[in-house]
Structure 1
Amino acid sequence: MAITLGHNQYGKAENRVVRLLRDSEPHQILDYNVSVSLGGDFDATHLDGDNRNVVPTDTSKNTTFAFAKHDDVVQPESYGLDLARHFVDDIDPVTGARISLEMYPWTRLTHDGAPHPYTFMRSGSHVRTACVTYDGAGVWVVSGVTGMTVLKTTDSEFEGFYTDEYTTLEPAKDRILATTVTAQWWHTDHDRDWQQSFDTVHGALLDAFAGHYSKSLQQSMYLMGEAALSADPGVAEIRFTCPNSHHFAYDLAKLGINNGNEVFHADDRPYGLIEGTVRRDDAPDPGPAFDPGRGW
């Protein structure tokens, strides 16, 4: 029986890159967390300690900051494409690159009734994400959002579910439905306005969540995905992770108070975890778009 080296990758994770666009009026701030993973001809460093093909992770770090001066930095997808193509096309031992980005939103402050030109507040409604995988021939771009917490105070139920001897959950005719959405969508069209595409999909997700009567979080998740694909023809597939943020009506009867379905205990764990994929029936295989182990 032989022991062999399997899939491997390396890079510099969580480079906190902030680019200030001083030439614009008003100023703009681009706040990124960038992780670089490289694959290629690196067997020798694992098997023999021969580092001649190894690009130091410090070099990856420096590159992410240097490329923040490029015009492509304004969108996470274009910034990721710029970096991935450099690592693969310009560095011989590297045959594959995966660039994962988080983009943190900042909101311009208001001063004397008008937006201030150079003062900001970090906003927390969501974090925009992107992941670019490139192997020298094919490129895969995945956009996304994480930390997007949404809640419905009514128009949500959960009834008619399967029961057995271990079921204690009572059916809910009128409940709070809340989740913190992580969504990633894969583009088959790369010649596009990335900001416009993000705004379109993000808006479709929120509109779908608000605009339907929910019978389950699974149903809501599917309708959000369906809306996203309908809104953007360049998106082939969207994947969701949606934890069910339970809100249980608190028993105030023991205190002699009628709750009236108004006071809740927000229970953070354990939680239901709902995950799923919505895709076009004619979409090609996503290849390594979502799976780093198939990236090189």
Structure 2
Amino acid sequence: MSKHVLAQNQYGKAENRIVTVTRKGNDGAWHEIRDLNVSVALRGEYRDVHLTGDNGNCLPTDTTKNTIYAFAKEHGVDSPEAFGILLAKHFVSSQAVIHEAQIRVEEFAWERISVPSRKEQHSFARKGQEVRTAQITYSETTGLQVLSGLKDLTVMNSTNSEFHGFIKDEYTTLQEAYDRILATKVTARWANSASAAANPEHDWDASYAKVRRHMLEAFAETYSYSLQQTLHAMADRVLDHVSTVNEVRLNLPNKHHFLVDLEPFGLKNDNEVYFAADRMYGLIEGTVHRQGVQPVIATSDWITA
């Protein structure tokens, strides 16, 4: 018997790739696809399997994988959130030793290649935009929690951004900027209300599109004096316009663009030619939540860019 204490632990099957094809219309010629990456983590009575190797309480990770594919066939995939809720509730309710299940879903977007002269519509091109994410946790004690999100959404304002008035010490070399490019690769997560999570009729696709739209509109419309200010404006606008969202956490790496010195060539660079730096970068992160609402997105659970 170990003299040490076994603390938090979980296990499951990670990154199960699944693509579903839904055929619509009388002849099934109109196809819809969902392209997902699904990960399962189970928490419960697993002390013996760690300390003695007794697998009596261990549901094989291969079974969790099979469940994902079977559920896709039996129930379909309406949205990452809805599919994750089905899976999480199933694992907790089906096995007495499982007390909590967490499902993480990434969705890769495709757009239709429309051929007007062809009756069948089953051709797609992979979108070069963001990856949609969802994390669903269902627990016997705390109930259902749904975190939606996105990552790898690269955005840019080519003007209406400044950065000046900052602290300067003996190591400061950065020049003040009164007209600069502001670019970032957005990673966002938002906590949905308990009422939305519990509502089987909640339209997760519409909610995702609405949150995304308001974040992008805030980014575009904010005259920015810092990326921190822009972060707050993006989260604040979501909370103002989407009543089912209680908390927004944003991870915004500052994708620096530096003016190229063209004077050695006898040329003036009037904010026209920039060097786009890959590394290093400033990393701005923050959470905004409604007053009176306890934050649920833990900073320790955050994966930085």
Common topology (TM > 0.5): yes
Q: Equivalent residue of 2:4, what SS?
A: coil
Task: Determine the structure 2 residue equivalent to 1:252.
Answer: 262
2-structure distance, mates of 1:261, 1:114: 47
Q: Which runs of 5+ in 1 are unaligned?
A: none
**What is the CA-CA distance between 1:133 and the residue it aligns to?**
0.5
The separation in 2 between residues aligned to 1:179 and 1:200, in whole angstroms, is 20
1:257 CA drift (Å): 1.8
Q: Which amino acid in 1 is paired with 2:131?
A: V
Deviation at 1:253, TM superposition (A): 1.1
Using CA pairs under 8 Å that are at least 6 residues apart, name the structure with larger relative contact order, 1 or 2: 1
1:218-239 deviations in Å (ceiling 9; x for gaps): 0001000001111111111000
Is 2:179 the counterpart of 1:171? no
Query: Are 1:94 and 2:98 counterparts?
Result: yes
Q: Structure 1 residues 114, 283: closer, same or farther in 2, change over 3 A? A: farther
Classify the secondary structure of the residue corresponding to 1:180. strand
Structure 1: how far apart are the matches of 2:242 and 2:236? 10
Matched position secondary structure for 1:283: coil
Q: 1:128 to 1:246 in 2, by over 3 A?
A: same
Matched with 1:273 is 283
Instruction: Write the deviation string for residues 239-291 of structure 1: whole angstroms up to 9, x where unpaired.
Output: 010000000011111122222211111101110000000110121342x7776
State the TM-score, normalized to the length of structure 2: 0.91
Which of 185, 189, 214 is equivalent to 1:184? 189
Distance in 2 of aligned mates of 1:96 and 1:55: 13
Alignment correspondent of 2:167? 162
- How far does the alpha carbon of each residue in 1:173-220 deviate from its partner, in whole angstroms, 9 at most, with x for none? 000000000000001132221111111111100111111211110000
Say whether the 8 Å CA contact 1:179–1:242 is kept in structure 2: yes
CA distance in 1 between partners of 2:298 and 2:108 (Å): 22
- Aligned to 2:33, which of 26, 29, 33? 29
Gaps of 5+ in 2: none
Residue deviations 1:13-49 (CA, integer Å, cap 9, x gap): 0000111102455200000000000011111111001
- Equivalent AA in structure 1 for residue 5 of structure 2: T
State percent identity of aligned pairs: 46
Partner of 1:221: 231
CA distance in structure 2 between the aligned counterparts of 1:89 and 1:150, rounded to whole angstroms: 42
Q: Could you tell me whether the CA contact under 8 Å between 2:114 and 2:121 is conserved in 1?
A: no
Question: Within 5 A, what are the aligned runs for 1:1-296?
Answer: 2-24=3-25, 26-71=30-75, 73-112=77-116, 117-137=121-141, 138-188=143-193, 189-190=196-197, 191=199, 192-286=202-296
Aligned length: 292
Aligned-pair CA distance for 1:71:
3.6
One-letter code of the match for 1:205? M
Q: Quick check: 1:141–1:289 contact (8 Å CA) kept in 2?
A: no
Whole-Å separation in 2 of the counterparts to 1:128 and 1:116: 27
> 1:52 & 1:292 partners in 2: Cα distance?
30
TM-score, normalised by the number of residues in structure 1: 0.94
Change (3 A) 1:257 1:291: closer
What is the letter of the counterpart of residue 281 of structure 1?
A: Q
Aligned-residue Cα RMSD (Å) equals 2.0
Q: Tell me the distance in 2 between the aligned counterparts of 1:201 and 1:121.
A: 24
